[in-house]
Structure 1
C-alpha cells in the first residue's frame, strides 16, 4: 500500500439511479442467493461482488444495475468487514461498469495528495507498524541483508525506493552505531517518482530529512540524505543521476516499488540496478498477481478480492473498531482497488500491477542471483513476529523450489508479503 496519502472525505452513495437509490442504516447482514434475493449468512459480500463482476464481464446491464443497487443498499465504510468490503469494491465495480475509473482515481488521488502532512502520515505509518508487521517484516529482513552485505565497508550508499517515510532506517543507523569496527559513512538517496514526487511529498521529506539527520547525530553516524524527485517513473533513473561513486558500497532497497513500473519496463529497471554494481538488492512486494490476469476481468477481480479480503480482515483484527488510522488505510485500499479493477493499464501512468514472489524471482534472475537470508536475519524476523497478535508466521520456501526465492509473511497461513535479497 502507498501510505503517503491520507483522505478525509466520506463515502458517498453512488448515483446509479437517482430514482431508486436511497440511504439506509446499513445494519443488514444479508447475503445474495443465486436468485439475487438476500438470505441470511455472515459472508454475503463476496457472493454479491462476484455476481456483479460476472455481470459486468458479460455486459448484462439489467443484472449489473440490480446488483449495484443491492450493494449500495448494504455497503458501508463504517460497518463490519463485509460491509466495508462491499463499500470499497462497489466503487471500483461502478467505475468499471461506467468506464469512469480513470477520472475517479485521479479525483481520489488528488484529494489524498492535498491532505499530505508530515504529522498525519508519520502517525499513520507508526501506528500501522505498531499493530501489524505488514511493513516491518520487509524492513527487518532487508536491513539484515543490507548490514551483512555491507559489513566492513567504510562508505555506504543505500538507494531507497519506497514510500514509508524512511521509517526503515533508524534501526539500521542504530545497528551501524553499535558495530565494533569503525562507524561507516552512510549516504541515503531517497527516490520519489510520479505521484510520490509531488509537492506534498516533498514537504514531508523535508521534515523526514531533519529528523533523520538529528537521529544520525545522536547515534554518531556520519550521515547524508539526498532526495531525488521530479521523476515520472523509475525508468528515468541513471547511475549518474543517483550520484553513485566508485568507492561506495551500494545497496538498492525496493519496497513496493517495482509494482509501480510498467510491465514492459521492469526488465530495464532491474538491468539498471545491475549497472550500479550493488553489493545487494533487497526487494519487498505484496504477494498478489494483478498483472497476468489483467485481460480477464473476472479472474482479475477474484485475485483482487482474495488479496484485499485478507488485508481488510487483518486490519479489522489489528485495529480498534473506531480507529481513524484503520479508516485511512482502508480508504487507501479503495483507491488501489479502483486502480487495479477500473483503470486501463495504458491510462494510469503509475498503474500498480503487483506480481507474486515467483514472478518477481524469474524477472530478477535475469540480472541477479538470489541471496538467502542468514539464520541470524531469520531469527530477527521471528522475534519481530512474536511482538504481534497471533496469526502471523514466517514461511521459507524449500531449497528444492527452483521457482521462488526469498521469504514470506503469512497471515493465517496465507502469504501476503514477499521479501527477498539479491546479488550480482
Structure 2
C-alpha cells in the first residue's frame, strides 16, 4: 500500500490535483464497505475504480454493493473483471468444471508465452491460479472463506447488474487507439475487441479469446 500511495501521490502532483490516500483495512470484500467508512466530503468529486474486486463479493450481495456505489454520487465508475462465468454455473459441477477448464487453459497459455520460465511473477500468478481453481471447484460458497471467494461473471452479466444503477459510458476513439498502441509493446496475441450487440465496454483478448472485460459507467 505504501508503494501504491507513493505512485498515486506522485501522479497527482504531476497533474496538479489535490490528493489524499486513505487505506480502509479489515475488510474481506466490498460488501463490507460503507459510505460512512469512505469519509466522502459533500462537495468532492467521486470516481470509483473497481479492478477485480466485485468478484470477491458474494453473488447475493452484489446488487447492494452496486447500490452503495450509486449512493456515493460518483462522476464515473470503472469496472475491470476477468471474463469467466463461475456464478451461474456454481451449482452445476460439470458446467463449472468446463468453464474453469476453458478460462484457465487460456490463462495458463497466456502466462507461458508472456513470461520467461523462471519468472517470479509467472510463478506467483500460477500459484494464485491453482488456489483459485481449488476454491471454485472444491469449495461450496458456505465453506469457502468469504474473503477468498471469487465467483467471476462475464461482461454481459456485470452489464445487466450495473445497468440497474448506472448508464454505460463509451470509450473514445483516442482511448481505444492508445490502448491498441500500448498492446503492440507486448507479446503478439494480445488485442482489443469491441463488445457484442447489446453489451458494453471493451474486451482484452488473447488469441481472439476474451480474457478481461473493462467498462465505464455514470449515474
TM-score by length of 2: 0.93
The Cα offsets for residues 247-301 of structure 1, whole Å up to 9 and x where unpaired, read as 1111101000110000100000000100011111000000000011111111111
Do residues 411 (structure 1) and 206 (structure 2) align?
Answer: yes
Write out aligned runs for 1:352-371 (5 A): 352-371=150-169
Task: Describe the shift of the 1:239–1:383 C-alpha distance in structure 2 as closer, same or farther (beyond 3 A).
Answer: same
- Specify which structure has the bigger relative contact order, considering alpha-carbon pairs within 8 angstroms and separated by 6 or more residues: 2
Whole-Å separation in 2 of the counterparts to 1:237 and 1:320: 39
Aligned to 2:96: 300
Q: Are positions 1:261 and 2:57 aligned together?
A: yes
When residues 215 and 408 of structure 1 are mapped into structure 2, their CA distance, relative to the original with a 3 A threshold, is: closer
User: Where do 5+ consecutive residues of structure 1 fail to align?
Assistant: 1-204
Residues 165-176 of structure 1 mapped to structure 2, 5 A cutoff: none
| In 1, Cα distance between equivalents of 2:64 and 2:6 | 34
Verify the 8 A CA contact 2:77 2:218 in the aligned structure 1.
Answer: yes
CA gap of 1:211–1:410, structure 2 versus 1, over 3 A, is: closer
Q: Does 1:284 align with 2:80?
A: yes
Match of 1:392 among 179, 186, 190: 190
CA distance in 2, matches of 1:369, 1:221: 27
Cα distance in 2 for partners of 1:359, 1:368 equals 14
**RMSD, aligned α-carbons:** 1.6
The 3-state SS of whatever aligns with 1:394 is strand
How many angstroms does 1:332 deviate by?
1.1
Q: State the shift of 1:218 in Å.
A: 6.2
1:36-185 alignment runs, 5 A limit: none
Structure 1 residue 235 displacement after superposition: 2.1
Cα deviation for residue 214 of structure 1 reads 5.1
Residue of structure 2 in register with 1:423 after alignment: 218
| TM-score, length basis structure 1 | 0.49
Per the alignment, in what secondary structure is the counterpart of residue 204 of structure 2?
A: strand
Q: 2:112 matched to 1:316?
A: yes
- Higher radius of gyration, 1 or 2: 1
Cα deviation for residue 213 of structure 1 reads 3.6
Q: CA deviation at 1:207?
A: 4.3
Among 174, 187, 192, which residue is 1:376 paired with?
174
Q: Using the alignment, how far apart are the partners of 1:212 and 1:253 within structure 2?
A: 13
How many residues in Structure 1 have an aligned counterpart in Structure 2?
217
1:227 to 3, 17, 23: 23
2:66 to 267, 270, 284: 270
Contact 2:29 / 2:53 at 8 angstroms: preserved in 1? Answer: no
CA–CA separation in structure 1 for the residues paired with 2:118 and 2:44: 48
Q: How does 1:203-222 map to 2 (within 5 A)?
A: 205-210=1-6, 212-213=8-9, 216-217=12-13, 221-222=17-18
Q: What 5-or-longer segments of structure 2 have no aligned partner?
A: none
